[in-house]
Structure formats: structure tokens, C-alpha cells
Amino acid sequence: MSSDIAVHRTVAEVLDHVWENRSTLPSRDAYAMMLLALARENPDLACLTADMNFEDHFAVELPRQHADLGISEQNMIGVAAGMTVCARPVFANGMSPFVISRAYEQIKIDVAGANLPVKIVGTHAGLASGHYGPTHHALEDIGMTRMLPNMTVVVPADAWEAAQATVAIAEEPGPAYLRLGRQASTALHEERTEFVLGRASVLREPGRVLFVATGPHPNLVAAEAARELAAQGVSAGHLNLHTIKPLDREAVLHASADAEVVVTIEDHRAVGGLGGAVCEVVAEAGGPPVRRIGVPDIHYDLVGGEKYLLHHAGINAANAIAQVLDVVT
């Protein structure tokens, strides 16, 4: 983790720092900095962890607002729900493959069903911990959380979006899931764009093709594929859907209205996540065909680095272009 997470900064100062370091700062570091800044301003904000040492700085500075529940994600979610009687919001932190899958019943009943202001933050999402094998893959979490009532689901594309998303979900009255990676990734944004929950970010205007992506690597893949297609004379739009729920239906329908094909890209199983959500919207409107790029619907039991596993799963620009050219002539 970054050595300067615990530096005393205001919310505005954190935003400035994250922007200046957006290509070298992991999204989880940007989140951790912003959470501490928000907690300084709001003594009712609580931070719970499941043996996640990147929140140690929080415990040192604000011990009355922090508790480490150990490796017991189910218990942590129950405690978080109970704490909303005296604390709002409550951020519950864990690794994505465990904080969602292990604690799903507690999230479903205690948090989403009760519509409580518990903000579940999962790091190491997707294939970020692929070097540990399939036990540490988080490839179902978007689908699992978007099916729950009252739940906001956010997947930032870079550190800049992660910092802003932390502020946004803290201000929302209901539950949320914030999906973060493990390592720094190339910044998606060249300008200080405003993050708005539920509003898609248009990174390239609509064309014959529409790429819809969520998360760091998928958006970089979409951007690369759109550039290469443009060089071949095929216009391609690019939507960054950082909010999976509520989904920006209007933006998807507008951008796909004249497209010959929509290609979704995600660091998640190809079923149930972003691709499924976009298919629901486009199909109901009688829109163009949708091709989904994600991890195949198999037991993905490979062990390896994140980029290797993503490429092996077909989450790359070459596959994105191939999916387009299979439809567009």
C-alpha cells in the first residue's frame, strides 16, 4: 500500500492528490485515503475490516470509528448492519471473493433486505488475485450484488473514479457494493471528469459499433479496440458503465440506437454481470445484437498473473475487434 495513505488531508486535498497520481495509485489506496478523510469530517462514519491491513492507518488515527473483525466476513456484515443503529454509514471491507460469496446470505437479509447504509467494499476483484488460484477469483460478485434489492453496485475504472465513488456512496442512504482491484492501472481520464452515480461516462461518441465496459482493464481494452477500428474506418463508441446498478438505461439506448453491434467487456463471468444487464436493456428495446466478452462459463481453474489470465480469457482488444468484425462488414 502507498506509504502516504495516512497523511492528514481533507476530502478536496485527497481528490487533488489522487488526480495528480492517478496512473500510479491503486484504486484501493485512493479509496482508503478518501475514507479516512470522510471519517475525519463525519464522526458517525464507521470502518470495519476482515483482517485487511490496508485500513491499519484508520485504526491508529480513529480507533473509536474502527473495528477489525478478523477473517469472519459473515460476522462482519451482521455487525455492520447492527452498527447502523448508531453509525451511518458503515463501511465493511474485505477481499471481493470472500466478502460477497461467503457473506451473501447476511448481505441479502441484513443489509439489502433491510435497506441499511452498509457500504461493502471488496478489493482484489475479478482476476486481480489470480496468482492464488480459483479460490481467490471474484467472478460472480457483480451478478450476485446487482440482483439484490436496494443495492447500488459501482465498479470504478481507475483511482480517480474510486476516490469520487467513495464520496458518492457515502452520501447515498442505502446499501452499496464498491468493487476495487489490487494494483495500479493506467488512468482512463485525461481531464477531471465529474463522477455521478448511475450516469454512464461517454468516452467516445457512438458509431457503427458500441463498446460498453466496466472496470480498469476492460475499459482500457475498449479504448484500444475503438482506436484500432477507427484506423480501419469503422467508427466505434465507448461507454464506461462505472455504475452497474442503477444502470444508465438512457445512455445505453441512446448510444446503441444506430449501432450495428454492441460489445460488452468485463473482468467477470460473461453471464450475470455487465453483459447480462446490457442485454436486458437492449433486448427489451429491440436493439442491435450484443456480444459479451468476459470469463467463460467454466470452472476457470488457471493460476497466473492478472494480465495473463485476462488475456487467456479473451478479455483483450484482439477479441473485441474480432467480435465486431464478425458482425460488421
pLDDT tens digits for range 257-304: 999 999 999 999 999 999 999 999 999 999 999 999 999 998 988 899
The CATH 3.40.50.970 domain(s) of the chain lie at 11-179
pLDDT of residue 77: 97
What is the chain's mean pLDDT, rounded? 94
78-87 residue pLDDT tens: 999 999 999 9
Mean pLDDT of 18-34: 94
The CATH 3.40.50.920 domain(s) of the chain lie at 201-325
pLDDT of residue 238: 98
Tell me how far apart the alpha carbons of residues 155 and 251 are, in angstroms, rounded to a whole number.
Answer: 17
pLDDT band at residue 179 using 50, 70 and 90 as cut-offs: very high
Tell me how far apart the alpha carbons of residues 131 and 62 are, in angstroms, rounded to a whole number.
Answer: 34
pTM of the model: 0.96
CA dist list (Å): 6 to 14, 23, 30, 55, 58: 11, 20, 11, 9, 8
106-164 residue pLDDT tens: 999 999 999 999 999 999 999 998 899 999 999 999 999 999 999 999 999 999 999 99
Q: Domain 11-179 falls in which CATH fold?
A: Rossmann fold (3.40.50)
CA dist list (Å): 201 to 157, 245, 249, 253, 255: 10, 14, 12, 14, 11
pLDDT of residue 54: 66
Query: Could you confirm whether domain 201-325 is CATH 3.40.50.920?
Result: yes
